Amino acid sequence: MQLRPLSDHVGTEVTGIAMTDLDDAAFEQLRQLVYDRGMVALRDQTLTPEQHIAFANRWGGIDINNYFPLNGQHPEIAEVRKEADQRVNIGGGWHTDHSYDQIPAMGSILVARELPSSGGDTLFSSMGAAYDALSEGLKATLERLNAVHSADHIYSREGAYAQTDQASVLRGHELKTLAVHPVIIRHPVTGRKLLYVNGAFTLHFEGWTREESQPLLQYLYSLGTREEFQCRLEWRPGTVAIWDNRATWHLAQNDYHGERRVMHRITLTGEPIGR
């Protein structure tokens, strides 16, 4: 297993292993690397959908995504897809997956299936680095706050995607979601403190109005997207990314108009998060 950090704070590229052949010790080493680095990109993998599912099951449970198109033969796999004639992509803003769930997803495993000739990179940002950059006074304030999360304003029939060319393929328009989580959480494995809000799904601080919440939330979003906290994953055929949704944000670049991009994503079941 050869490792190459993609940035100071988040992301490690892994070569020299086959995901389908990992013994228990190597698998646990990889799992810890995901927890420590937030995201791991494995290169030169050959992974069938069945092997993708089997590998995900080694992590624990699988959360079925309620919104993305599902792979017809394998309902565990959601398709993150943009057709050549579409202008809008899925995941084109900074977010963390499933923060709108009462028990948020632990992570995601994304497999490149069909890539454009160039573009379509994914950016990741470290929420541990974002927390560390807070002043002591703001840390103390945020430690006492919870935030309200939902996906309704994104996926409902009146939501953000409703008037775009992704509207016809997305599902779950009638679902209602609402979850309350601490603004500062402690990673359940590493113990590291992390900023846990995101621009896609966080609505407001609990007990605050949206108008009152926005100035502070916007500051936190700007902090979380500082370039020095980020890495860029350049996708290549055979690339698989595994990331920790508690510890990172990510954003899918939408810079390949006129070409098709298809990714297979499995979302990994998490555990209750707390301070």
Give the catalytic positions in this structure: 95, 97, 250, 265
Q: Other C-beta atoms within 10 Å of 146: how many?
A: 17
Which of 77, 64, 88 minimizes the C-alpha distance to 240?
77
**Per-residue b or e along 252-269, where b marks 16 or more CB atoms closer than 10 Å to that residue's CB:** bbbebeeeebbbbbbbbb
Distance CA 269, CA 255 (A): 31
Q: What is the edge-to-edge ordering of all strands in the sheet holding 146-149?
A: 179-182, 146-149, 202-205
Q: Other C-beta atoms within 10 Å of 193: how many?
A: 19
Tokens of 125: 């940002």
Which of 63, 44, 43, 47 minimizes the C-alpha distance to 55?
47
